[in-house]
Chain A
């Protein structure tokens, strides 16, 4: 079974630029999550989708971050404009339903200079 796919794996941008990350969850998984993990910290949930609807985006900085999950499958997370403090690993995870085990993708390591 293929795992959660993410791209790109690495990205370096300058502050005030825009960036987008892509996630393809495990086939059939209804729930998709985006996390931000800053070095030395645990993952912080940014947004959670159930199919193509948003369940929780309370910790998403909506002035600069946006996410969508069209057709309830793939998802993109965008940052516009980026700040230095956005440097982190962005992890995508999926689960069959909310109460089931989450499977994480390899993450996208973002460096903002």
Chain B
């Protein structure tokens, strides 16, 4: 099992749609979790941290289920500008592991 696995993409959705990304991790000792966004041919940028109680930032909601070793990202009311690759990132004691990423394409 890979350390961090994400939904294979791409996800093609119309503007205004709600889309959810899933991520699982293999190391139960993992300490913290993040979603990064990477635009085409650009560097990754932190989108949001993921907290055990779940957290929301505008149209974005992140959830963590430690028992199932599962992380999710929900995007509501998708915008054209949300088109990007979303990377799930897991931090251990001294390591940071990125998933392969899931590409989102939002169309008019």
Binding site for B on A (CB under 8 A): 33, 35, 40-45, 48, 55-56, 91, 98-99, 101-102, 104-107
Contacts and interface: CB of A to CB of B under 8 A. Distances in A.
Interface of B: 4, 32, 42-46, 87, 91, 94-101
Given A56-B95, A98-B94, A42 B43 contact: no
Contacts of A106: 42-43
Contacts of B87: 42-43
Given A91-B43, A107-B43, A102 B101 contact: no
Task: Tell me the dominant secondary structure on chain A's binding face.
Answer: loop
Contacts of A99: 32, 91
B43 A44 contact: no
B33 to A, nearest CB: 13
Contacts of A105: 43
Contacts of B32: 99
User: Closest 9 A-B residue pairs measured CB to CB?
Assistant: A42-B98, A104-B43, A43-B98, A42-B100, A42-B101, A42-B99, A101-B46, A42-B87, A104-B44
Contacts of B91: 99
Nearest to B93: A98
Nearest to B4: A42
Contact of A45 (B95, B100, B101): B95
B21 to A, nearest CB: 13
Contacts of A44: 98
A102 B96 contact: yes
Contacts of B46: 101-102
